[in-house]
Amino acid sequence: MSGETVITVVGNLVDDPELRFTPAGAAVARFRIASTPRRFNKTTNEWEDGDALFLTCSVWRQAAENVAESLARGVRVIAQGRLKQRSYEDREGVKRTVYELDVDEVGPTLARATAKVEKNPSGGRASSAQQATQDPWANAKPANGQQQPTAQGAGYSDEPPF
């Protein structure tokens, strides 16, 4: 990863993510993010939109399937990944250069929305041995056999400490 350009983009999905599979069976989801900067104009006392950046993104494997199932057109997302430059010749023979994001992490922003998070059984990266074990904290009991403290019993309250 040395020398790669890692960026974080916040914006809205332009279309529903498109899920495909490689011949080897690896899932890949492609989607586009429109990120539009906003500035407050003190002269007019109003917000103004700048030029939108449209960035094509790709995410792989389990994350691709999660994206296709969880995100849709119009959802505001935050995506982090490696910015890639690719050059090609179009049908008319004109050389073109595009910038794309190979996404490592993506999810909905929670600034103006809520989301319910559900873990995948495998977590996406666990080995088969790890998948067979359950969450060690799910049924944990204190070593002394006493009941676990509640928020009130642990000294927590809604009142300030003074």
Spatial contact of 11 and 49, defined as CB atoms under 8 Å apart: no
pLDDT single digits (tens) 63-77 = 999 999 999 999 999
89 to 32, 92, 102, 125, 162: CA distances (angstroms): 21, 8, 21, 37, 69
Angle at 63 between CA 59 and CA 69, to 5 degrees: 105
Average pLDDT of the chain is: 80
First and final CA of the chain: distance in angstroms?
A: 50
* CA–CA dist 98, 83 (Å, integer): 10
Q: Which of 14-28, 34-48, 104-118, 143-157 has the lowest mean pLDDT?
A: 143-157
Question: Token pair for residue 149?
Answer: 């403290």
**How far lies 48's CA from each of 44, 55, 112, 148, 157, in Å?**
10, 21, 19, 52, 43
User: Is the model's pTM score more than 0.75?
Assistant: no
- Has residue 42 got a pLDDT over 60? yes
Torsion of CA 120, 123, 128, 132, to 10 degrees: -60
Taking the CA of residue 61 as centre, how many other CA atoms within 13 Å lie in the half-sphere pointing to its CB?
A: 8
